[in-house]
Structure 1
Amino acid sequence: MRVAGTLVLIALVLVLVSPCAFSAEAQEPDPQQIFQDAAQAQQRGDLVVAVSKYQEVIRLNPNVVAAHANLGVVLVSLGRYDEAITQYHIALAEAPGDPALRLNLGLAYYKKGDFAAAAAQFASLHKENPGDLRVATLLGNCQVQLGLVDQAITLLEPLEKANPDNLDLEWALGNALIRTSQTLDGLKRIQKVADKGQNADAHQLAADLYLGLTLFDQAKENAQAVIRLNPDAAKAYVVLGMIDDFGGNEKDAQDNYRKALQIDPKDNQARLQLANAFLIDRKLDQAREEIDRALAIEPNSLAARYELARLERTEGNLAAALKDLEAIERQDPQWLPPHVELSALYYRLQRPSDGDREKEIVNRLRTEEQDRRGQSRVISPRVPLP
């Protein structure tokens, strides 16, 4: 399953119960029979019924650890993470330190996106059993999400040598390396996950990374692989459109952006890329329509406001373009494209000192980007997202 940017395949633990878990003096209704009915409903995927049955068991006998534990599993499957976490804590109060319950509690936090709480559970389990690869991988994923990428690499790299074909480990380590600007080393691992696991998410990430590195053939291959695995993947069509854009194939680019928007009308990157394609074709009214739609979806989008400024500049409304670009620059001074536009606009407005200042900023930001990527060539999408 893919959770909050990570790719980890995990089976939540189904806790079974022995007859002795229920009171021998139980009268009708029989909590043991209800528990069995709940477990059967859970196994056949009838989760709403399973929740109701487990809750009935708990009402009849609140001390049945397995009922709380299994209810937690079902609630996680339904996306009701806070309720699941409560059930795991109740179960742990009855069975303190139980590894399976702590693992499931960590997984509930993980799927909720509370990576700090999840990491606390996984770190404790890893300390007790350093050889548990699944726990170590989960902990590494949490560390990546928390920005502790150096810790994640220190944890995961030694494990990779003994487990070179563990795709969960490769995904976690690959993402950690990418976060530390070791893009090519990370990409090698992401590509392995994509190819060996036939995984659309990994192919999409690889396509995005190859595109940023101007390796268009590899980007195209991965985007096409995404579409084979998931024909409704809007982002893959965006990548194909951007490749066409860079090749000057504006008609094909527009077709791919339209395909992306047919799949996901709220994909603002596709919409703004389409607006840019219209702008290049001097179809200014159509470009404005797409920019207005993007701003309706996300009024505070700097990318949409950037495209609006470019449109205003093309229309000759230089004062409006300047105002918008300067506002964007103030909000995100490290974002390169507005500085590029401002530099050219200042020179056009006969303000050479301001143009020189912006040009220096552009050169500095480009150098920093090259250093981060470790590449001599650095590109940005024609509609870069800040």
Structure 2
Amino acid sequence: MWRILGQSKSPSPEPYIHIGLLEARLEHYNEAIAAYRKAIAMQPADAALRLNLGLALFKSSQFAEAARSFESARKLFPPDSPDIQRIDILLGMAHYGLREYATAAPYLKKAAAKDPQNLELRLVLAHSCLWSKQYQCVLDVYREMLLLNPDSAEADMLAGEAQDGLKNRSGAIEQFRAAVKADPRLPEVHFGLGYLLWTQHQYEEAVSEFNAELANNPNHVQARVYLGDAHLQMSRPDLAQPVLEDVTSRDPSVWLAHLDLGIIYADSGRQKDALTEMQKAASIAPGEVNTHWRLGKLYRSMGRNEEAQAEFAKARSLHTAEDQDLLHKMSPAAAVADKPTGPGSP
């Protein structure tokens, strides 16, 4: 019936509104979007219509258009409307979906202030603050989360990442230890603690944490990389080598695994294999000083002095990379290979 009315010579927005609602309930979001847009063309000042359009766009993962629709709806609702808080959450989540975390955070803060018991909302807010490097915001939200759940491992882990961002690694380690105690099965929790211990050269304990992460998730590539590197740092090439070879077979783009294997092969007299691995590491991470320094040493041991000098010159021209912060390592888009300090520092 509503479709017939929508096709009449003098249509009103009403049929399209109902078609949009029906299609949205059936999760036919593209059809709902088309119907809502036709209704809005006839009734552009309808706040509820724009909100419904935004919801259909959001549910079909069209976050940028959804955010624009929510913004339009927000301007049309009265300032004291209860819908404002809902729109703030939706705006925050739309920008979160776009990875525009700095833009998402203010909306989520407004919504959280009006809903003091909402732990899940605070968790998303804390992540938005963390990924936009607003570390004090993370710690403020952390305190609110603890009031709602004193045993929240997620809150402890977020606070640990924030402390690391503030260059307080001892504080970060303490927070991650609390997170491990609260929930040893939480994804990334053992890796985060292990990586922090690795940066402080506490390799034996780091190995335990990387193994614990792999017990939870056998496919955690970064845990496997740093497990192998930690063994190498402790002069255990026999333990490091099979782990690192497994890494390169799973993911050949990890420069640190190639560099470490090159070191192991060079030390065992396998110069040709060592050269292959180090050249791969240099190709993947050309700005890493340790790779060029190790390559220079290898070339020199092979009597290839001209190539050795070229690699030493490259190493001298580069600044030694600092350990990357935990935020980078635990980000969904993080690359294992970027620039951690390897075992061959000059």
Going from structure 1 to structure 2, the CA distance change for 1:158 and 1:232 (only over 3 Å counts) comes to: closer
Q: Give the aligned residue type for 1:186.
A: A
Percent identity, aligned pairs only, is 16
Instruction: Return the offset for 1:322.
Output: 4.5
Q: Write the distance in 1 (CA, Å) between the matches of 2:271 and 2:65.
A: 51
CA contact (8 A) 1:174 1:187 kept: yes
Going from structure 1 to structure 2, the CA distance change for 1:174 and 1:314 (only over 3 Å counts) comes to: same
What's 1:188 paired with? 174
Please point out which of 38, 45, 53 is paired with 2:24.
38
Instruction: Return the offset for 1:128.
Output: 5.3
Instruction: Return the offset for 1:219.
Output: 2.1
Q: Write the distance in 2 (CA, Å) between the matches of 1:108 and 1:268.
A: 35
Q: CA RMSD in A?
A: 3.5
Instruction: Return the offset for 1:178.
Output: 1.9
Deviations 1:340-384 (A, max 9, x none): xxxxxxxxxxxxxxxxxxxxxxxxxxxxxxxxxxxxxxx964157
Alignment of structure 1 residues 365-384 onto 2, 5 Å: 381-382=342-343
Please point out which of 52, 56, 66 is paired with 1:71.
56
What's 2:5 paired with? none
What's 1:291 paired with? 278
CA contact (8 A) 2:266 2:274 kept: yes
Q: Give the aligned residue type for 2:54.
A: A
Q: Write the distance in 2 (CA, Å) between the matches of 1:295 and 1:330.
A: 15
Instruction: Return the offset for 1:172.
Output: 1.9
Instruction: Return the offset for 1:67.
Output: 2.7
Instruction: Return the offset for 1:215.
Output: 3.3
What's 1:54 paired with? 32
Q: Write the distance in 2 (CA, Å) between the matches of 1:301 and 1:40.
A: 53
Q: Does 1:225 align with 2:219?
A: no
Q: Write the distance in 2 (CA, Å) between the matches of 1:278 and 1:126.
A: 55
Q: Which region of structure 1 is more displaced relative to structure 2, 227-236 or 62-71?
A: 62-71
Alignment of structure 1 residues 166-315 onto 2, 5 Å: 166-194=152-180, 196=183, 198-315=185-302
Q: Which region of structure 1 is more displaced relative to structure 2, 66-75 or 256-265?
A: 66-75
Going from structure 1 to structure 2, the CA distance change for 1:228 and 1:39 (only over 3 Å counts) comes to: farther
Going from structure 1 to structure 2, the CA distance change for 1:72 and 1:205 (only over 3 Å counts) comes to: farther
What SS does structure 2 have at the residue aligned with 1:200? Answer: coil
Instruction: Return the offset for 1:214.
Output: 3.5
Instruction: Return the offset for 1:293.
Output: 2.6
What's 1:114 paired with? 100
Q: Give the aligned residue type for 2:343.
A: R
What SS does structure 2 have at the residue aligned with 1:61? Answer: helix
Going from structure 1 to structure 2, the CA distance change for 1:325 and 1:127 (only over 3 Å counts) comes to: farther
What's 1:17 paired with? none
Q: Write the distance in 2 (CA, Å) between the matches of 1:59 and 1:147.
A: 37
Q: Write the distance in 1 (CA, Å) between the matches of 2:257 and 2:25.
A: 45
Going from structure 1 to structure 2, the CA distance change for 1:26 and 1:129 (only over 3 Å counts) comes to: closer
Question: Where do 5+ consecutive residues of structure 2 fail to align?
Answer: 1-10, 41-45, 324-339
Going from structure 1 to structure 2, the CA distance change for 1:335 and 1:178 (only over 3 Å counts) comes to: closer
Instruction: Return the offset for 1:119.
Output: 2.5
Deviations 1:37-73 (A, max 9, x none): 43343xxxxxxxx431332232332352343232243
Alignment of structure 1 residues 73-92 onto 2, 5 Å: 73-76=58-61, 80-92=62-74
Going from structure 1 to structure 2, the CA distance change for 1:96 and 1:209 (only over 3 Å counts) comes to: farther
Q: Does 1:26 align with 2:14?
A: yes
Question: Where do 5+ consecutive residues of structure 1 fail to align?
Answer: 1-22, 42-49, 337-378
Q: Give the aligned residue type for 1:382.
A: P
Q: Which region of structure 1 is more displaced relative to structure 2, 134-143 or 285-294?
A: 134-143
Give the length in aligned residue pairs: 307
Q: Write the distance in 1 (CA, Å) between the matches of 2:106 and 2:12.
A: 38
Q: Write the distance in 2 (CA, Å) between the matches of 1:220 and 1:39.
A: 51
